[in-house]
Structure 1
Amino acid sequence: MKVAVTGAAGFVGTNLVNQLVADGHDVVAIDRVSPAHGLDHPQVTWTAADIFDHDALVAAFDGVDTVYHLVAMITLKQQDELAWRVNTQGVASTARAALAAGVRRFVHCSSIHSFDQYTDNGIVDENSARSENPALPVYDRSKWAGEQELRKVIADGLDAVICNPTGVYGPVDHGLSRINGMLRDAAQGRVPLFVEGNFDLVDVRDVAKGLTLAAAHGATGENYLLGGEQVCLFEAMRAVAELCGRFRPLFAVPLRLLNVVVPIAEPISHLFGSDLVSRASIAALVAQPVVDISKARTQLGYEPRPSADTLADLVSFLCDSKQMGSARPRSGRAFESVLPTPVG
């Protein structure tokens, strides 16, 4: 089968292309640049098409059965015009082109952030409130708005399904993503302390598999949460450090202290062009929602792997790809004694 992936050179895109090739598909990989690493399979054809160029996308989708739309701009900022445009109008533009090209199925990779995670009962499922509050970060609001744009095209006849991954981590990642970058630093013994807090993390390879399952079994217009396990980030960092025989973080900083520091540190961080220290980054940890993935399990056959496996595989990948310096992993059995019991 011939399929297309937008944002194919990115973190999720790389793993999705690998999954699709393994499944025997011919892939039209759409991105502004071709990656310098891997993905040179004979089954993969690279196309440098802009998601706002309707004619170029229609041409790229010619003869394609399924389109996977992954292009997104992730930010922790409160306002960002480019992120809003990419995450909303970009979805509409790609979906319209798929409809015009006669694509059979469209799979949109949205995010857990399109759901309001600050729920009273602490549980997020597909029926939870959405990110409509103007006080939420632009990423949260734009991912929900992007889904609304897609539903307009569904109403015009596009057969589309929406997937909502949680915090994505694991191999393969030549980037690195925020989460993988922090875990790499911890594995090198460079993180003396970290904030407390849990978050639902999902292996990027499970996200890729979930997207293909949604293409095969998802119902038109439905959302499917693709989660993994509730992971204590502090303990995960201690785990990867121990796996590499490096200095482990000594203690976790209480979130209540960060709530005092962030109003002062956030403007300074912005002066240096960073959004890492922000109310949004802390709020995500404070919320700590339990993500209910039973819908994806029962309707798609989705089954994520344990976090211990992801952490061990990530460290091995980082070492093999020379992103870890001299740090080398010991036995993966080290994880069993230091990782907390998953919640939810």
Structure 2
Amino acid sequence: MNIFIISGANGFLGNNIIRALQNKENTQIRAIVVKNHNTKPLEGLKADIYYALVENYESLNDAFKVKESDNVFVIHCAAKVYIDDKKLDSLMDVNVNGTKNMLEHTKKVNGRFIFVSSSSVFYHKRKNEIINENSLIDLSKTKSPYEKSKIIAGQLVDSYYKDGLDAVTVYPSSIFGPYDYKNMFVETMINEIIKGNLNASITGSYDFVDVRDVSDAIIKLCDKGEKGEKYIISNKEIRVSLLMNNVCELLNKKKIKFICNNSVASIFLPFYKVFSKNKTLSSLFNKESLKVLKYGANLDNSKLKSTIDFVPHDLNQSLRETIDFLRKYNNL
């Protein structure tokens, strides 16, 4: 039996991985979920729910009860995303200690560990620098609490691999697509355009990849990924203003013509957060997203493509299907 244990299973990436896995033969899916958290993303899916906290080692025991003959794949998606230093302890507890607990359990059952990191951990020396798996990751170069936690967690994964654990690390770019029940960057942007609240853009670009492509790649890497290797999962870089106008075109809305300089937006951001009535927009363009968009994401996914069959969705197709989901889910 192939046992897939997925942390953060009710999250955006987690529930899409389960959707891609659920019809595979000889497969059991174990979804690790925090008790009292929203399980709507898992409704109707073929997965056994295990209520646990990744930062609590003992709470994970039941999810890792397997037979010696089972092939165990642990996909560690669970993570908190904070940009506020005031929540650093909670973030580190989940993202670092939680990763250590998942690694320890995986080691005990002799499983394969897939660590979901982020492409944002790579240090950009200059704008539009080509980033690959060998690019610099330096804890001292980032001020982001989230990036720090992911870098430290990645170091833990490396140390367990050196001690003999079968581990693979993936670095997805910014994911978007259907079945996002919390509204990440692209989904928030689409919602605001539909509501007519977004009539300006900013300079900058990033790599946006369909969550289903990331899910598919992770599942394939469970089988074909090389032990100890790391893989960037990305699509292609696109200007935010162009992305927004693609959405406008799909919605038959007027294109956005006003584009604010990223540096100017950064200066006025504190005032906007205080005086703006639209708190959704202030969360969309925060100091973290402005920094990321400023440097772009020229990500090289050639290593992934040489390892698995990886053909990302067409961007507009992904946007169209995301719009359809959001309209249905949010009654827009």
For 2:310 and 2:185, locate their aligned partners in 1 and report how far apart those are by CA, in whole Å: 25
Tell me, yes or no, if the aligned pair for 1:193 and 1:251 is still in contact at 8 Å.
yes
Residue 328 of structure 1 corresponds to: none
State the 1:205 CA deviation.
Answer: 0.6
Tell me, yes or no, if the aligned pair for 1:191 and 1:248 is still in contact at 8 Å.
no
Letter in 2 for 1:288: G
The CA RMSD measured in Å over matched residues stands at: 2.4
Tell me, yes or no, if the aligned pair for 2:117 and 2:169 is still in contact at 8 Å.
yes
State the 1:54 CA deviation.
Answer: 2.1
Residue 12 of structure 1 corresponds to: 13
Alpha-carbon distance change, 50 to 78 in structure 1, aligned in 2, over 3 angstroms: closer
1:144 aligns with 2:151: yes
Alpha-carbon distance change, 128 to 20 in structure 1, aligned in 2, over 3 angstroms: same
1:60 aligns with 2:95: no
Q: Secondary structure at the match of 2:201?
A: strand
Match of 2:54 among 37, 42, 51: 51
Q: Secondary structure at the match of 1:304?
A: coil
Match of 1:157 among 156, 159, 164: 164
Residue 33 of structure 2 corresponds to: 31
Q: Secondary structure at the match of 2:227?
A: coil
Q: TM-score, normalised by structure 1?
A: 0.85
Mapping 1:195-206, distance limit 5 Å: 195-206=202-213
Tell me, yes or no, if the aligned pair for 2:203 and 2:294 is still in contact at 8 Å.
no
Alpha-carbon distance change, 40 to 191 in structure 1, aligned in 2, over 3 angstroms: closer
Match of 1:82 among 56, 76, 90: 90
Tell me, yes or no, if the aligned pair for 2:187 and 2:326 is still in contact at 8 Å.
no
Tell me, yes or no, if the aligned pair for 2:200 and 2:258 is still in contact at 8 Å.
yes
Q: TM-score, normalised by structure 2?
A: 0.88
For 1:278 and 1:42, locate their aligned partners in 2 and report how far apart those are by CA, in whole Å: 34
For 1:261 and 1:38, locate their aligned partners in 2 and report how far apart those are by CA, in whole Å: 37
Residue 342 of structure 1 corresponds to: none
Letter in 2 for 1:23: K
Deviations 1:46-100 (A, max 9, x none): 0101112223323311226111100011123356222122222211111111112
For 1:191 and 1:52, locate their aligned partners in 2 and report how far apart those are by CA, in whole Å: 38
Greater CA drift, 214-223 or 249-258: 249-258
State the 1:267 CA deviation.
Answer: 8.1
Q: Secondary structure at the match of 1:22?
A: coil
Match of 2:177 among 170, 173, 194: 170
Tell me, yes or no, if the aligned pair for 1:118 and 1:287 is still in contact at 8 Å.
no
For 1:243 and 1:120, locate their aligned partners in 2 and report how far apart those are by CA, in whole Å: 30
State the 1:11 CA deviation.
Answer: 0.6
Structure 1 unaligned segments of length 5 or more: list them. 326-344
Identity rate, percent: 24
